[in-house]
Amino acid sequence: MPHELDCRQDNSAECYAGTVRFPNLRNAACALILFCILPAHAATWTIRTQPVLLLNGAPVLFQVKAPAKLESLTGVWLGHQLTFSYDSATKTWFTLAGVSLETGPGKYTLELTGKRAGTETPLMFSRTFRVARAKYPKIKVELTVEKKFTEPTPEQLQQIEESKKIKQDYFSRVTPDREWAGGFTAPADAPISDVFGSQRIFNGVAQSPHQGLDFGVPTGTPVTAMNGGTVLLARPMYFEGNLVVLDHGQGLLTLYLHLSEFKVKEGDVVKRGEVIGLSGGTGRATGPHLHVAVRWQGTYLDPARLIQLPLP
């Protein structure tokens, strides 16, 4: 939607201040007409996204101003259910969502449903957003790992299956309330050793694109929570090694892999920046490093883009 429409939709004080600054009588008359016809009837929805350009594999913050007072706001985006939080300071509803890596470029619709007090009739609105293709590196990373990760024995296959079941079970437990607040921070003060989306080859076998962000850290480096949440998992897993998963609510999880030591246990409530474990090289790792992943309602998103996102 062109930017010039935002002003009218906003009904903000800034907008009106801008409208009355017309130099001549004819424009002043136009401004007067605008004043008379707009406020009561043209009150409509304003939706902003952060970042402005939506990309596959990236998180997105939806910020919505509704034309009337709402009790709650929900939405549907790319088949996902969204629950919005209300920021009374800015009178804005917001939620964190994402676009999967597999989503092709094109136009996609966000459907909104607002509940009002004293009426069963919801306030509905929909708007289309364009998703562009993000540029992810096509560097082929040739890696060598132990054979048990690429050619597992029947016994190891059973262990893999058990790990998979635990993840499926825990990952499906969505906490309805938002537990994160403000921006997400890097889990380690270290350089990035591999980015999200890169193509990798283990022992000559092509794997799915890298679904996380790697920090080049030696074993024993403190790993911190990227935001507030509850410890969903803190246990050894086949590929992930010692794994901590934080539940930030509304289907948003952060995962910390290959740890050498746990500093939290399942059920603990953690704050952003709190140490949750020490880095290591457990599981399918070619050496000590920290792999972090961001999972939103079953979809992996680029942690680097989440860290860059300014959030309320």
Q: Under the rule (CB under 5 A), what is the footprint of Zn ion?
A: 212, 214, 291
C-beta closer to Zn ion: residue 214 or 240: 214
Enter the tokens of residue 20. 């009355």
Shortest reach from residue 117's CB to Zn ion, in Å = 48
Shortest reach from residue 6's CB to Zn ion, in Å = 39
C-beta closer to Zn ion: residue 264 or 285: 285
C-beta closer to Zn ion: residue 214 or 302: 214
Q: How far are the Cα atoms of 130, 142, 152, 198, 240 from residue 201, in angstroms, in the given order?
A: 32, 5, 17, 10, 17
Enter the tokens of residue 175. 């906490």
86-94 long-range contacts, CB within 8 A, separation 24+? 87/312, 90/312, 91/65, 92/63, 92/64, 92/65, 92/312, 93/63, 93/64, 93/65, 93/66, 94/61, 94/62, 94/63, 94/64, 94/312
Shortest reach from residue 214's CB to Zn ion, in Å = 4
In whole angstroms, what is the distance from residue 144 CA to residue 201 CA? 8
C-beta closer to Zn ion: residue 272 or 291: 291
Segments in the chain forming alpha helices (H): 3-10, 13-19, 25-41, 147-150, 154-171, 303-308
CB proximity list for 187: less than 8 A, separation 6 or greater: 215, 223, 224, 225, 226, 254, 256, 290, 292
C-beta closer to Zn ion: residue 231 or 290: 290
Shortest reach from residue 302's CB to Zn ion, in Å = 12
Comparing C-alpha atoms, which of 41, 153, 49 is closest to residue 108? 49
Shortest reach from residue 167's CB to Zn ion, in Å = 16
In whole angstroms, what is the distance from residue 303 CA to residue 136 CA? 13
Shortest reach from residue 194's CB to Zn ion, in Å = 6
Shortest reach from residue 213's CB to Zn ion, in Å = 7
Shortest reach from residue 251's CB to Zn ion, in Å = 22
C-beta closer to Zn ion: residue 214 or 247: 214
Q: Which residue is nearest to Zn ion (CB)?
A: 291
C-beta closer to Zn ion: residue 212 or 249: 212
Give the sign of the dihedral formed by CA 203, CA 100, CA 56, CA 132.
Answer: positive
Number of residues that this document lists for the chain: 312
C-beta closer to Zn ion: residue 212 or 280: 212
Question: Radius of gyration (Cα) for the chain, nearest Å?
Answer: 23
CB 279 within 8 A of CB 219: yes
